[in-house]
Structure 1
Amino acid sequence: MSAAVSRSGARRDVEFDADGVTLRGWFYPTGDSAPTAVVVMAHGFSLVKEAYLDRYAERLAAAGLAVLVYDHRNFGASEGSPRQEIDPWRQIEDYRHAITYAGTLPEVDPDRIGVWGTSYSGGHAVVVAAGDLRVKAVVSQTPAINGVQTGWRRTPMAQLADLGEQFAAERKTRMQTGEVAMRPVIGSGAQRPVYPAEDAFDFFSTVGRIAPSWRNEVTVRTGEWSRVYNAGHHIDMVSPRPLLMIVADDDTVSGTDLQLTAFNRALEPKSLRIIPGGHFAPYVEQFEATASAAAEFFATHLRTSGR
């Protein structure tokens, strides 16, 4: 991984243990002489840190926040197998390992830790903050907040039996042969991709150019787990830690209505920022709005002086 320089100074490559699996990422120091607040961040469904997370990390670092950004297990520079498999509960536990590691760094004040997540990890950030009292503030951006409802919306009822048979067949094959079945993240309708919409195709196609380690596939079992993962069940337990939810007004991937319904169940203190566009708008078209909102929120609630 190459070094990059932000207004906070040079980031450095880091790695840490997560129950025997090495996770790798970048640490952005602030350059301050005293330990500072830190934000722990990881990417969404199938994505790797090179897909715009460096931009978010630099913006937060410029606001006086140290940042730890890493690749999920089984993805990018991190270890783990099967490759390209997303177990949401394992990723949540790895967030906790990342929090532990961040707290050991001499540049970090372990009493001022925030978590940031986007899309799939936007849901993770809620769950982590609900259960880990070390977290003092959380930003959840266009979160995958209700996998049960989005699963029902994506699969017509007439196809549910066939889908269940596919999941069962994959489990049997994996047990008997060790072979892991895959499906594309984007592609033609005949390929049955995870995201068939045009905006997803455009976004992930760009990601493939800027993040060479991203792969256009996930395991079939990933889909089985995602259909029963409901991060929104935990949202009322985030309080009294402050929550910022960033919602796109035309999110047909995670569901604008599902996000707003979850936000309404969250207890105070909470803040809502609605941006124009679809699920992938925060990374490019709405980057300035979303990065600035997160930086201001964390600087306020983790008590930094800003830059």
Structure 2
Amino acid sequence: MSREDIEFDAQGTTLRGWFYPATGSDGDAPCVVVQHGFAAVKEMWLDRYAEVFQEAGLSALVYDHPGFGASDAVLGTPRQEIDPWQQVRCIQHAITYAQSRPEVDAERIGLWGSSYGGGHAYVTAAIDRRVKAVVGQVPAISGSHSFQQLVRIDNWAAMDAAFSAERQARAAGADAALLPVVDKDPTAMSALPTPDSYEWFQTTADDRASSWRNEVTMTSMEYFRGYEPGIYIPLIAPTPLLMIVAPLDRLADGRLATAAYEKASQPKNLVLVGGGHFDAYTGDGFETSSGAARDWFVEHLGRRRPHEGDHR
């Protein structure tokens, strides 16, 4: 598989990633923009999805969100801060960059996102008609709902106080407060306090993502609570929408995602994967999720156009 290290400008900062040219492309292939979820970096299995798309005659653009992995932070924003609306705007810059490449048919852009990035994919598809097909897997639907599931009710007031204090401290010039993304102890303070989150992030980081850092800013959690990507799902049509959902997902509630699917208009499709939130990335879950996404993009974007004399 061939890929190119790339960088592009987004809001005055530099985002970095990989470009995978479609197999056999002569300059007019569709391109899928691929972006990750909460606090993750591109090495956390995005290369495998890009390779599946590449083999199917689709180019793929993979990158790190601002302030994560190889990408610079936006001026005025600390590293490890997850601002969902900033990330949505950067997706739009990634689309612009993809369209500028000579290997890409600028009128055939797809968008793929997972987890928090799945929510971003829905929002972007609803507000940016350059997206011609969208796939979101194990998607974030409601920040407020997820916050209430992940943070004990008797800690809500303390979190409100922490958010307020953090705003005051940063306004006074203090460095951003940080908390772990995951902790081995699910009762300890962390952004994603579930055992499967700890196992997946730590194992994946050890195996293939040395650039990953187990920390996000406290402000990321305030942004998380206020982010409601599910509101945009009814606005995606007529862009073709594929939702890949794990009904047993307890991190990004699979039940909430299947209910949200019912609010979308056609064309749409729902694919279910077994297991929990992170099972979509490996094993049978990967075969299901990547295959469904590949087929959706091929159906709605087409493949690369053959070279003259190519009889396949």
TM-score by length of 1: 0.95
Instruction: Give the equivalent residue in structure 1 for 2:288.
Output: 289
Residue 158 of structure 1 aligns to a residue in which SS?
A: helix
Question: 1:98 and 2:94 equivalent?
Answer: yes
Q: Do 1:116 and 1:122's aligned partners in 2 also have CA atoms closer than 8 Å? A: yes
**For each residue in 1:72-102, what CA deviation from the matched residue of structure 2 results, as whole angstroms up to 9, or x when unmatched?**
0000000014010000000000000000000
The equivalent of 2:25 in structure 1 is: 32
Return the letter of the residue paired with 1:11. Answer: R
The partner residue of 1:163 within 152, 159, 163 is: 159
Q: Deviations over 1:152-180 (max 9, x none)?
A: 22223322111100111111111213311
> Distance between the aligned counterparts of 1:103 and 1:276, measured in 2?
35
Deviations 1:226-251 (A, max 9, x none): 00100000001110110000001210
Contact 1:299 1:305 in 2 (8 A): no
CA distance 1:49–1:261, change in 2 (3 Å): same
Residue 23 of structure 1, aligned match among 3, 15, 18 = 15
Provide the C-alpha distance between the structure 2 equivalents of 1:12 and 1:228, rounded to a whole number of angstroms.
36
CA distance, structure 2, for counterparts of residue 179 and residue 241 of structure 1: 42
Q: Distance in 2 between matches of 1:281 and 1:59?
A: 17
Counterpart for residue 120 of structure 2: 124
The amino acid that maps onto 2:177 is A
CA contact (8 A) 2:187 2:193 kept: no
Q: CA deviation at 1:208?
A: 1.6
Question: Are 1:77 and 2:56 matched, yes or no?
Answer: no
Whether the aligned pair in 2 keeps the contact of 1:208 and 1:214 (CA below 8 Å) is: yes
Are residue 50 (structure 1) and residue 49 (structure 2) matched? no
Q: Distance in 1 between matches of 2:32 and 2:239?
A: 14
Whether 1:238 and 2:230 are equivalent positions in the alignment is no
Deviation at 1:198, TM superposition (A): 1.4
Where 1:145 maps in the other structure, the secondary structure is: coil
CA RMSD of aligned residues (A): 1.3
Find the aligned partners of 1:294 and 1:193 in 2 and give their Cα distance: 31
CA-CA distance at 1:291 after TM superposition: 0.7
Paired residue for 1:14?
Answer: 6
2:274 to 273, 276, 289: 276
User: Do the aligned residues in 1 keep the contact of 2:29 with 2:304 (CA within 8 Å)?
Assistant: no
Structure 2 unpaired stretches of 5+: 306-311
Q: Kindly provide the amino acid, as one letter, of the partner of residue 66 in structure 1.
A: S
Identify the range of structure 1 (250-259 vs 168-177) with the bigger mean alpha-carbon deviation. 168-177
Are 1:39 and 1:115, in contact at CA under 8 Å, matched by a contact in 2? Answer: yes
Query: Could you tell me which residue of structure 1 aligns to residue 223 of structure 2?
Result: 225
Tell me, what secondary structure is at the counterpart of 1:151?
A: helix
* Residue 192 (structure 1) aligned with residue 189 (structure 2): yes
1:60 maps onto 2:60 in alignment = no
Aligned ranges for residues 199-210 of structure 1 at < 5 Å?
A: 199-209=196-206, 210=208
Q: Which of 93, 111, 115 matches 1:115?
A: 111
Structure 1 vs Structure 2: percent identity of aligned residues?
47
Correspondence for 1:302: 301
Q: Name stretches of at least 5 consecutive residues in structure 1 with no aligned partner.
A: 1-5
Counting matched residue pairs gives: 299
Please report the TM-score for the alignment, with normalisation by the length of structure 2.
0.93
Secondary structure of residue in 1 paired with 2:9? strand
Displaced runs of 4 or more, over 4 A: none
Secondary structure of the 2:277 match is: coil
